[in-house]
Structure 1
Amino acid sequence: MGVDCEIGNDGDEAVGVGLEDEKYWPLMPPLPSYGYGREHPGPRFGSLIHGQNLKDVVVTGHNGTIDGQGQTWWKKYRQKLLNNTRGPLVQIMWSTDILISNITLRDSPFWTLHPYDCKNVTIRNVTILAPIFEAPNTDGIDPDSCEDMIIENCYISVGDDGIAIKSGWDQYGIAYARPSKNIHIRNLVVRSMVSAGVSIGSEMSGGVSNVTVENLHVWNSRRAIRIKTAPGRGGYVRHITYQNVTLDNVRVGIVVKTDYNEYADDEYDRKAIPILEDISYTSIHGEGVRVPVRIHGSDEIPGLFFLLHVKTSTFMMSKAT
């Protein structure tokens, strides 16, 4: 089934707006690779734009905007007034041959653009915006158990990770066993004052492999590129290439964190140790960087980084303020 969703016409800056009252939003079961709503047990709220089991999907805006009206959701989340997990702004699941282009996505209640268990996905010329503070979990793009994907020519400024590649959470992700693989990210400008420009994890229990990130500019951010995982995740992160990355006023350039101890429930297997290997950083150049590289190890994952390479990279340091 082919689907063509257009927001506005040429020259028309149309705006699609989400409803602020959660009673108008449907509830959906937890994702099978998460086993949990993500913020709460049980169901999660649906998305403003949702599709599943589709083929040949086009979402385009002719420079129009989809506004998630996230302010009310963020406030209720901080006040602990929600009983279910907030929903993404755009979520497409179990689908193939997807193009999302020439559109602005802003103020999502939760993750902004979430392709889940999809194949052959292109995201091009998309602007994603949320306040850089006080907009919790507003990741820009979250490829989740996706295969054969291109993300290019995008601008992202949000209140969490600009991009976070995922593949399921703990024992649920291990059982679902759908990796994210063959992902090419290029020609992006990203700002993330509270998290990272491009992350892998922390939910990566199905595995992440064959990822290339190139021609990336991260500015005014807390971290630039980060891998985050923990004992109990299982899975792997392998064959990852970062090249031609420019950092401007970033606190920490490269981060690998293996003690990101946030779990779906108490049933995870502490012996499920993630594997990290063949991770390459080439031509990473930064100005105003406080810490070029930071690695957080854990007792369960010793001696892990012998296949991590940093080559031909320079960092101009700044003083902490």
Structure 2
Amino acid sequence: MKMLVVLLSLLALTNAIQLYGEESDGQCNYVKLTLEPRPHSVSILEFGAVGDGKTLNTLAFQNAIFYLKSFADKGGAQLYVPPGRWLTGSFNLTSHLTLFLEKGAIILGSQDPSQWEVVDPLPSYGRGLDLPGKRYRSLINGYQLQDVVITGDNGTIDGQGSVWWDWFSSHSLNYSRPHLVEIVESELVVVSNLTLLNAPAYSIHPVYCSDVLVQNISVSNPPGSPHTVGVVPDSSNDVCIEDCIISTGYDAIALKSGWDEYGIDYGRPTKNVHIRRVHLWSSSRSCLAFGSEMSGGISNVVVEHVRLYNSYSGIEFRTTKGRGGYIKHVNISDVVMQNVYMAFSACGQCGVHPDDKFDPTALPVLEQITLQDVTGTNISVAGNFMGIEESPFTLICLSNITLSINSGSLASWVCSNVSGSSQSVFPEPCPDLENPYSNSSSACFSSTSNGKSATL
């Protein structure tokens, strides 16, 4: 936690261009979502809320937001949460609303499951993530909204997830766990200037959304918290994630787009995603993950200026037979890794199936992946690229990568059913990835002269 505080101060005090150098023309430069004041504002106190950490305030939040709906056509409104500990169950937001958490304001998720509504699974998943059937609605929700902002002066949303982790680990859940913030089928979504703690499962989950900005947030879930994930863009497009610090029990950032036949049928990809200036920790899995639920497809992703620490894997691509979909046009650059067991992974045998209705002939495609300008210290395995025999991973392009491998590591690179090119990579990659770049070759993902993606 001390390191997180130091890095937060660093991000707040240091100009991004000075710290990281030249920026690409990625999605973050086109997501023009502002945090302009709303013309109307009310305090949660006006609806009888009590910030003692014991009084349940679910009805107060629900009534306040119902009242603020009347201002949607008048420029929108703000719900102000002052300092205090505001215990609540699940509640829904409305369009043209800003939920503002003052410094010292803590929204606490109730540990009573009766305060979390049970809802149908997402259509691109067909079931809950933990169990077949329904799922608990997330703490803060939005559905089919326009222009919704969750922000503050570094206020806190604390899911008090320990009871959910215990129920998950002991197989005592009645339904799949809730998330902290989930916004569904919405446009113009901002989550910024907040701390999110102890999510039961995901911390921020925009699903079927467009024009999403996640900016200047800190996410912390303790090591050992099962399958807790930080930010999960899911079947969403035009997404910017920047200036964030994320430490979780599983993946820090995970891009997804639906599960097997349900994701294929729903058919909504995650695309046009820009991730920059983030610091990521993952105690048991990956700092940055693609999949394994990616049946709707993932494409046009730029990742730059990232720092990855103390994790099992740094960057991981996951899929398996029966997934369908694709992961392609991904450009990752300016990466620094420290104390990461496996720097890169691309796995064609990762992930389970939601049920037995999947099509085993639905083969995923993974191609046009560029990894460049990477340094790593205290790394055990440089890369593990294990493609699918019937659908090999192709056009994997590695450039300007230097990894310091621990003494005693048996193999720096492991590869099968994969092909690509490499230039200036140490330690030397496996032969499948050693084809040299050439001007006439189309084997490598096209880039601009400064190494940034040309597709966004």
Tell me the TM-score normalised to structure 2 length. Answer: 0.68
- The whole-number CA distance in structure 1 between the counterparts of 2:363 and 2:403 is 32
Counterparts in 2 of 1:298 and 1:89: CA distance versus 1, 3 Å: same
Question: Counterpart of 2:397?
Answer: 309
- The whole-number CA distance in structure 1 between the counterparts of 2:186 and 2:217 is 20
- The whole-number CA distance in structure 1 between the counterparts of 2:397 and 2:136 is 41
Confirm whether residue 5 of structure 1 aligns to residue 93 of structure 2.
no
- The whole-number CA distance in structure 2 between the counterparts of 1:193 and 1:22 is 27
- 1:299: Cα distance to partner? 3.9
Question: Counterpart of 2:275?
Answer: 185
Listed as ranges, the gaps of 5+ residues in structure 1 are: none
Question: Counterpart of 2:434?
Answer: none
Q: Contact conserved, 1:170 with 1:233, CA < 8 A, in 2?
A: yes
- The whole-number CA distance in structure 1 between the counterparts of 2:111 and 2:357 is 35
Runs of 4 or more, structure 1, over 2 Å off, are: 296-301
Q: Contact conserved, 1:282 with 1:310, CA < 8 A, in 2?
A: yes
Where in structure 2 are the equivalents of 1:252-291 lying within 5 Å? 252-291=342-381
SS at match of 1:73: helix
- 1:111: Cα distance to partner? 1.0
- 1:320: Cα distance to partner? 5.9
Confirm whether residue 220 of structure 1 aligns to residue 310 of structure 2.
yes
- The whole-number CA distance in structure 1 between the counterparts of 2:407 and 2:234 is 37
Confirm whether residue 74 of structure 1 aligns to residue 162 of structure 2.
no
Where in structure 2 are the equivalents of 1:45-194 lying within 5 Å? 45-133=136-224, 135-194=225-284
Q: Contact conserved, 2:365 with 2:393, CA < 8 A, in 1?
A: no
- 1:21: Cα distance to partner? 1.5
- 1:61: Cα distance to partner? 2.2
SS at match of 1:57: strand
Question: What letter corresponds to residue 37 of structure 1 in structure 2?
Answer: G
Q: Contact conserved, 1:220 with 1:249, CA < 8 A, in 2?
A: yes
Which of 315, 318, 321 in structure 1 is aligned with 2:406? 318
Q: Contact conserved, 2:269 with 2:297, CA < 8 A, in 1?
A: yes
Question: What letter corresponds to residue 393 of structure 2 in structure 1?
Answer: F
Question: What letter corresponds to residue 364 of structure 2 in structure 1?
Answer: P
Deviations 1:217-248 (A, max 9, x none): 00111100000000100001110011001000
Tell me the TM-score normalised to structure 1 length. Answer: 0.96
Deviations 1:167-226 (A, max 9, x none): 000000000000000000000000002000010000000000000111110011110000
The structure that is strand-richer by fraction is: 1
- 1:158: Cα distance to partner? 0.5
Q: Contact conserved, 1:3 with 1:54, CA < 8 A, in 2?
A: no
- The whole-number CA distance in structure 2 between the counterparts of 1:155 and 1:305 is 31
- 1:261: Cα distance to partner? 3.8
Q: Contact conserved, 1:61 with 1:104, CA < 8 A, in 2?
A: no
SS at match of 2:393: coil
Q: Contact conserved, 2:366 with 2:394, CA < 8 A, in 1?
A: no
Listed as ranges, the gaps of 5+ residues in structure 2 are: 1-94, 410-456
Where in structure 2 are the equivalents of 1:223-238 lying within 5 Å? 223-238=313-328
- 1:82: Cα distance to partner? 0.6
- The whole-number CA distance in structure 2 between the counterparts of 1:299 and 1:178 is 26
SS at match of 1:168: coil
SS at match of 1:123: strand
Question: What letter corresponds to residue 2 of structure 1 in structure 2?
Answer: H
- The whole-number CA distance in structure 1 between the counterparts of 2:226 and 2:408 is 25
- The whole-number CA distance in structure 2 between the counterparts of 1:7 and 1:147 is 27
Q: Contact conserved, 2:292 with 2:351, CA < 8 A, in 1?
A: no
Deviations 1:139-187 (A, max 9, x none): 0000000100100000000001000000000000000000000000000
Between the two structures, name the one with larger relative contact order (CA 8 Å, sep ≥ 6). 1
Q: Contact conserved, 1:124 with 1:151, CA < 8 A, in 2?
A: yes
Question: What letter corresponds to residue 216 of structure 2 in structure 1?
Answer: N
Q: Contact conserved, 2:319 with 2:348, CA < 8 A, in 1?
A: yes
Counterparts in 2 of 1:294 and 1:56: CA distance versus 1, 3 Å: same
- 1:305: Cα distance to partner? 2.9
Deviations 1:281-315 (A, max 9, x none): 011110111111111234443xx233001111100
- The whole-number CA distance in structure 2 between the counterparts of 1:138 and 1:112 is 8
Find the structure with the greater CA-based Rg. 2
- The whole-number CA distance in structure 1 between the counterparts of 2:302 and 2:173 is 37
- The whole-number CA distance in structure 1 between the counterparts of 2:351 and 2:242 is 31
Deviations 1:55-85 (A, max 9, x none): 1111002111000000011011111111210
Question: Counterpart of 1:40?
Answer: 131
- The whole-number CA distance in structure 2 between the counterparts of 1:225 and 1:23 is 38
SS at match of 2:302: strand
The aligned length equals: 315
